[in-house]
Amino acid sequence: MSMSLRLLAISAAFAFAGAVFASPQSSMTGPAAKTLTPQQQRMSDCNKSATGKKGDDRKTFMSSCLKGQTAATPMAAPTKMTQQQKMTSCNADAKTKALAGADRKTFMSSCLKSAPATP
């Protein structure tokens, strides 16, 4: 009997504590509750601007946006190619040159090491 009373008391205490901690946050309705820090505002703005972007493109955009760069700046500046982009570009070049065997292997090796900085 005493065990069930303890469980009941503990349950009531948790319910009361949950209500106490939840009520001040939900009852704050005013500009003070919605004020964002400049960093939070920047994050919100950048997040809205990044809709539709996915993967590495979104990461790059968000990084430059949060640093305060405009959306046009990262596009104008040369960007580094990913390994997959390098491989695709080098494969296309090797195919147009009709390379095969050891010549292709040598070309691919040098191409991947010295691929251009922009896609």
Distances (CA, A) of 28 to 15, 33, 37, 38, 109: 21, 6, 17, 21, 62
pTM for the model: 0.33
Encoded tokens for 41? 């505002």
pLDDT at 102: 92
Same domain? For 68 and 92 the reply is: no
Q: Is residue 2 part of a domain?
A: no
pLDDT at 14: 75
**Domains: count for the chain:** 2
pLDDT digits (tens, 9 = 90+) for 19-47: 656 555 545 555 556 787 888 888 888 88
Same domain? For 50 and 69 the reply is: yes
Please give the residue range of the domain that contains residue 88. 83-113
Q: Is residue 60 part of a domain?
A: yes
CB atoms within 10 A of CB 9: 10
Q: Is residue 1 part of a domain?
A: no
pLDDT at 101: 92
Same domain? For 46 and 70 the reply is: yes
Q: Is residue 19 part of a domain?
A: no
Encoded tokens for 111? 């191409």
Residue 119 has pLDDT above 50, yes or no: no
How many percent of the chain have pLDDT more than 90?
A: 5
Same domain? For 58 and 90 the reply is: no
